[in-house]
Amino acid sequence: MAGVMGWPVMHSRSPRIHNYWLAKHDLAGTYVPLAIKADELRAALRALPSLGFSGCNLTIPHKEAAFEIVDRVDPLARRIGAINCVVVAPDGSLDGRNYDGFGYIQSILEAWPAWRADAGPIAVIGAGGAARAVLVSLADQGAQEIRLVNRTPARALSLAQEFGPPVKALAWDDRHAALEGAAMLVNTTSQGMAGQPALDLTLDKLPGSALVSDLIYIPQETPLLSAARLRGNRTINGLGMLLHQARPAFHAWFGVMPEVTAELRAVIEATI
């Protein structure tokens, strides 16, 4: 057994992803949505071993709160500052991990195998929870310069201070100019998501060779990705990140490293 704890949680695509792999690998298990309120997280996590769970994913609002509950946090999750996967150890203790950064990098490499983080400056818009995983993974991949802009400048400054070079914070008003000479642009804000206005960003200064990545996958093509595609940039949405972060979690719980196939992608796309 495994599952995803969140509040709300029923919108999560994770059960479909993991149950697809369980069936594919002929494993007698199941992955369930677990609607857990913030004040029930400790009891819910501690119950996992008794309930026969191998572990669970965590989503909003539990990713940070779990730090104080699990028995061990791996170094990468500690740097990212969030836990998105809990693994029950043989003795019933709980390991906290974070596979969002892995998922992000793998999704880019799947779409663009020749991609390199050190190909040139990377502009990252947004400094929330998702941005932390993106910044840590891009830096670990060898990014030389990451220009971070956020609507609330203090959050970008604080991340630049915490992570140090290659991350440097720029003013929100400078976000359009920050695209000059960039090899890559990443939107980690919620702007462009279904029900939200488009990200307020002018792409005029972005080189035509740049890769444009949006963490959003609902809709599959945000106004940012559409504008980028129309001016000739390569684009990638956030669905690959969601699919790829699930792989090492499945491996940790069930012992098989599954693949992101065209069939799985189609199954999930059909729900969007």
Residue 63 annotated as catalytic:
yes
User: What does each C-alpha distance from 136 to 21, 81, 140, 144, 256 come to in angstroms?
Assistant: 28, 10, 6, 12, 26
* Binder among 3, 55, 96, 238 for ligand NAP (CB under 6 A): 238
- Give the angle subtended at the CA of 100 by the CAs of 144 and 219, to the nearest 5°: 100
Tell me, what DSSP letter sits at residue 49? T
Helix (H, G, I), strand (E, B) or coil at 213: strand
Helix, strand, or coil here: 56?
strand
Residue 242 makes contact with ligand NAP by CB under 6 A: yes
The residue whose Cβ lies closest to ligand NAP is 128
Distance in Å, CB of 192 to ligand NAP, minimum: 8
Contact between 151 and ligand NAP by CB under 6 A: the answer reads: yes
DSSP per-residue letters across 110-153: HH-TT--GGGS-EEEE--SHHHHHHHHHHHHTT-S-EEEE-SSH
In this structure, which amino acid lies at residue 48? L
| Residue number, 94 or 215, with CB nearest to ligand NAP | 215
Neighbour order of strands in the sheet with 211-214: 167-170, 146-149, 122-125, 184-187, 211-214, 234-236
Nearer to ligand NAP, 88 or 258 (CB): 258
Q: Which stretch binds ligand NAP (CB under 6 A): 16-24, 111-119, 120-128, 175-183?
A: 120-128
Contact of 236 with 259, CB cutoff 8 Å: no
Binding segment for ligand NAP (CB under 6 A), chosen from 66-74, 126-134, 205-213, 257-265, is 126-134
Using the rule CB under 6 A, give the single segment among 47-55, 140-148, 151-159, 225-233 that binds ligand NAP: 151-159
Q: How far is CA 236 from the centre of its chain?
A: 13
β-pairing, 2-6 vs 31-35, is: parallel
CB of 51 to ligand NAP, least distance (A): 26
> Residue 128 interacts with ligand NAP (CB under 6 A)?
yes
Q: Residues 173 to 232: which contact ligand NAP by CB under 6 A?
A: 188-191, 193, 215-217
Please report whether residue 61 would count as binding ligand NAP according to CB under 6 A. Answer: no
Q: Does 146 bind ligand NAP (CB under 6 A)?
A: no
Binding mask 72-101 for ligand NAP (x = CB under 6 A): ----------------------------x-
Cα–Cα distance for residue pair 40/271, rounded to 1 Å: 29
Q: Which is nearer to ligand NAP, 71 or 162 (CB)?
A: 162
Active-site residue set:
63
Residues lying near ligand NAP in the complex (CB under 6 A) are found at 100, 126-131, 150-152, 155, 188-191, 193, 215-217, 238, 241-242
